[in-house]
Homo-oligomer: A and B are copies of this chain.
Amino acid sequence: MNSEIITIGDELLIGQVINTNASWMAKALNEAGVDVRQITSVSDTAGEIIRAFKEAEERADLILITGGLGPTHDDITKDVLCEYFHTELVEDEKVLENIKGFFQRKGLELTELNRKQALVPKGCTVIDNPIGTAPGLAFHKNGKLFVAMPGVPYEMKHIMQSFVLPWLKDNYTGNVIIHKTIMTQGIGESFLAAKIEDWVKDLPETIKLAYLPSPGIVRLRLSLKGNNRDSMIRLLDIQVEKLMRLIPEYFWGFDDEKLEAVVGAMLKKQDKTLCTAESCTGGYIAHRITGVPGSSQWFKGSVVAYDNKVKKELLKVSEEVLEKQGAVSQEVVEKMALEACKLLHTDYAISVSGIAGPDGGTPGKPVGTVWIAIAGPGILVSKKFLFGDERDRNIVRAGTAALGFLRSVLLKKNGTG
């Protein structure tokens, strides 16, 4: 079964909004065994939307549409759907009740604009949206299914989960696509490729390999299509095991795993706690860590010592070291890590000090220079990194490098690395 995704909205075509909906939907479809053949973004213009509908209908069996169902005048998708499916808007009582309830629960008054959201194309299947005001709208045509959903991400997700994915389960049993992604850190794409060259050559033809680099991380995705899920999983597992033996120092997880969650699971298993002392990363590492549900079990907190005075007073870095070595130095990050452990009563600490840019670089310490230390029971290690020119990217790379560094320390500590 083929599907296509059409995302509607001028904001996408002028680059004001990043299309996170399309990737979320693509992933959900893919997991359900449905190929996504194309993702198309078009403007809030009737002619363009209708053209996109027609083209997608020619190629795909399932067409998912988001955007343009809101209450304001720039939302025209419902009108266009009426034109495309030769129908008209009528008020839907159930939808109106839902909208009334939605506003009542929030203690807000129902506006005339919101009442308009109870208008739906006659004859379509109306899909309940209890967390918003615009319902989903499904249309069957010549064995093909069109589903229009609101562009608000969590409302779209709700309709996908309550309607589209169950529908696929009931109505579609065909080929299965399975993927396994191997997460690596600390090695560049081409060096990784050189390291696993022979393994790639021996890979069964049915397995497709892709390299996906992102700041500090390279993902290797293996994909396989077929109709026997169990034997496919076995086939993939054999290859994954071979691959992991080639890159034990770089491999850290699978699929959607996050490095911070992997590190957290290791800490939890070893019954240890963590804190961070951050200068140039400014709380980014603590933010990534606290994004992990349940992280309060092993993460205690952070001192963001952006100002040198905070480094001196809370983390006891001496004036002398700051003057002689500078804030971006081995001595400073080591002291920060040691003191953070004491101050926040943790077993381990990550500390970071660097020059994120755009300013602050010198010939000896250019923008992108970052020192990272890890302190732990009987351990104090530090490393200097040289990232690039971009502030945002440097912060992300420093965070990933710091978490990877802690992981390697925990592995050694546990005697498994």
List residues of A whose CB falls within 8 A of some B CB. 9-20, 22-30, 35-44, 48, 52, 55, 70-74, 108, 111-114, 133, 152, 154, 177, 179, 181, 188-191, 193-194, 200, 208-214, 219, 221, 223, 276, 278, 280-287, 289-291, 293-296, 299-307, 309-310, 314, 343-345, 356-359, 388, 390-393, 395
Q: How far is the CA of A300 from the CA of B48 in the complex (A)?
A: 50
Contact A287 B283 (CB under 8 A): yes
Told that A72-B190, A291-B392, A293-B359 touch, could you supply 5 new A-B pairs with CB distance under 8 A? A13-B39, A15-B29, A74-B209, A286-B306, A290-B356
Query: Contacts A18-B20, A40-B40 hold; do A282 and B293 have CB atoms under 8 A apart?
Result: no
Name the B residues within 8 Å of A223 (CB-CB): 10, 14
Subset of 16 A-B contacts with CB under 8 Å: A10-B208, A10-B210, A15-B36, A18-B23, A22-B41, A37-B48, A38-B41, A39-B40, A72-B190, A72-B210, A74-B210, A281-B287, A282-B287, A282-B295, A299-B306, A302-B302
Instruction: Name, among A11, A15, A36, the residue most crowded by chain B CB atoms within 10 Å (CB to CB).
Output: A15
Name the B residues within 8 Å of A41 (CB-CB): 22, 38-40
Minimum C-beta distance from A355 to chain B (A): 11
Contact B38 A48 (CB under 8 A): yes
Minimum C-beta distance from A116 to chain B (A): 10
Contact A15 B23 (CB under 8 A): yes
Contact B194 A113 (CB under 8 A): yes
Query: Top 5 A-B pairs ranked by shortest CB distance?
Result: A282-B290, A15-B27, A283-B286, A283-B283, A15-B26
Minimum C-beta distance from A254 to chain B (A): 13
Name the B residues within 8 Å of A210 (CB-CB): 9-11, 44, 72, 74
Assembly stoichiometry (copies): 2
Kindly report which residue of chain B lies nearest to residue A311, judged by CB atoms.
B301
Cβ contact of A293, chosen from B12, B16, B358, cutoff 8 A: B358
Name the B residues within 8 Å of A22 (CB-CB): 12, 15, 19, 41
Kindly report which residue of chain B lies nearest to residue A13, judged by CB atoms.
B36
Q: How far is the CA of A194 from the CA of B22 in the complex (A)?
A: 30
Minimum C-beta distance from A26 to chain B (A): 3
What secondary structure prevails in chain A residues at the interface with B?
mixed
Name the B residues within 8 Å of A19 (CB-CB): 18-19, 22-23, 39
Name the B residues within 8 Å of A30 (CB-CB): 13-15
Contact B306 A303 (CB under 8 A): no
Contact A108 B191 (CB under 8 A): yes
Minimum C-beta distance from A156 to chain B (A): 13
Q: How far is the CA of A73 from the CA of B390 in the complex (A)?
A: 29
Cβ contact of A307, chosen from B113, B294, B301, B307, cutoff 8 A: B301
Contact B42 A189 (CB under 8 A): no
Q: How far is the CA of A52 from the CA of B55 in the complex (A)?
A: 12
Cβ contact of A37, chosen from B13, B29, B36, B345, cutoff 8 A: B13
Q: How far is the CA of A97 from the CA of B113 in the complex (A)?
A: 62
Minimum C-beta distance from A346 to chain B (A): 9
Minimum C-beta distance from A362 to chain B (A): 16
Minimum C-beta distance from A53 to chain B (A): 13
Name the B residues within 8 Å of A20 (CB-CB): 18
Query: Contacts A111-B190, A301-B304, A359-B293 hold; do A26 and B42 have CB atoms under 8 A apart?
Result: no
Minimum C-beta distance from A103 to chain B (A): 9
Kindly report which residue of chain B lies nearest to residue A255, judged by CB atoms.
B16
Name the B residues within 8 Å of A296 (CB-CB): 306-307
Contact A73 B191 (CB under 8 A): no
Minimum C-beta distance from A176 to chain B (A): 13
Contact A12 B40 (CB under 8 A): no
Name the B residues within 8 Å of A26 (CB-CB): 12-15
